[in-house]
Amino acid sequence: MHRVDNPPNPYHSAHCEWLGPPPAAPLTVYEQHARSIIASNDSPDVPYRWSINPYRGCQHACAYCYARRTHEYLDLGAGTDFDRKIIVKVNAPELLAAEIRRPRWKREHLAFSGVTDCYQPLEAVYQLTRRCLEVCRDAAQPVGIATKSYLVVRDADLLAEIDRRCSAHVLFSITFADDAVARQVEPGAPPPSRRFEAMRKLSAAGVPVGVMIVPVIPALNDRDIPALLERAAESGAQSASYGPVRLPGHVADVFLSRLRDTFPDAAARVEARIRDLHGGRLNDPRFGQRMSASGAYWDGIARLFETVATRLGLGAGQRWRKCGDEPARPAGAPCGPPPPKQLPLFPSTL
């Protein structure tokens, strides 16, 4: 991995149409020749087995992002280092082509952006995600993408072709209804209005789309759930999912600091509500429990989401974190022991 002294500027020329105004803080880019690109997990907390991340770190700078801790594995910080020191896996497409040609690969669903957004601004110049999608198209490899970026519109034709050949789904993470409020918590991400616009364009191009209200931050964005679901349905969404905020390790420091700076009057109430979801803590690290929440307040959020999502026909109110094949339980109830298998975030086609 080596540092790029003068990284390419994704905001030059036509890219500004996709990316918006550039951030003020300086950007440091490190180019890496990775040894592998497909990551696997068998956690019941994560709704996919295989994922690919062409980038490490994320310019969207979402204060609540659980992936901030992954930068600490690189001896970097979970705060501004995660936002502004980005690792680019320049050989990702070639690695992907080699890995999916192996006889043991069974063309199982491949999730893009399992950790950081594969359509963050640097994608405008490196085009690693697009080149990886071209590999998937040629191999008839089913894919699912989770993103906050408008840049995904650039690849609408490619995603539509993949969906015709096998399967492609794009899920937009949209957590706030108001652009100005979103900017306070997600300063580097496109505003929600742009994400809904991208959703409409992909849907019109024949790409299946959905909305993820993840994370739900109690006393901050839970009131936006009905408006978000209604706008998603109007924009062509076919599914909806949700999940609670969780603040592992130093992610809590980053989020709470941003919260106190931008919403000082609400900060104490929001923190207290988050603790209500996790038994008095900011995060429940137990395997099988990390993506879940409990308590009376969460029950109300769950009922609100599921009622509105069902009325709008958005997947009958799917949860981000499912509880396996256990019997039905009241909305928002905590999950029991880890389930024996994962349930998919993206529909299976094989």
pLDDT for 339: 38
Q: In 3-state terms, what secondary structure has residue 30?
A: strand
CB 212 within 8 A of CB 192: no
318: which 2 tokens? 């799917």
Judge: domain 2-312, CATH 3.20.20.70. Answer: yes
Model pLDDT, residue 286: 79
Least confident of 146-155, 302-311, 328-337: 328-337
The pLDDT of residue 6 is 66
Burial of 299 (0-12, 13-18, 19+ CB in 10 A): middle
- Residue 23: partners with Cβ closer than 8 Å, 6 or more residues away: 59, 61, 187, 188
How much is the pLDDT for 331?
37
| pLDDT score recorded for residue 333 | 38
- Report pTM: 0.85
Nearest-angstrom CA–CA distance, 49 and 66:
18
pLDDT at 13: 63
**Dihedral Cα 285, 289, 294, 300, nearest 10 deg:** 110
Strand order in the sheet with 239-244: 38-40, 50-52, 110-112, 143-147, 168-173, 209-216, 239-244
Q: Mind listing the pLDDT tens digit for each residue in 57-87?
A: 999 999 999 999 999 989 999 999 999 999 9
Between 140 and 322, the more confident residue is 140
Residue boundaries of the structural domains of the chain: 2-312
| Those residues with Cβ within 8 angstroms of residue 311's Cβ, 6 or more apart along the chain or in another chain | none
> In the structure, what pLDDT confidence band is assigned to residue 322 with cuts at 50, 70 and 90?
very low
> Residue 24, Cβ neighbours under 10 Å: how many?
6
Q: Which residue has the higher pLDDT, 254 or 340?
A: 254
What pLDDT is stored for residue 292 in this prediction? Answer: 84
> What pLDDT, on a 0 to 100 scale, did the predictor assign at position 234?
98
* Mean pLDDT (whole number) for 252-257: 95
CB count in 10 Å sphere of residue 115: 17
Task: Determine the average pLDDT of the residues in 119-142.
Answer: 97
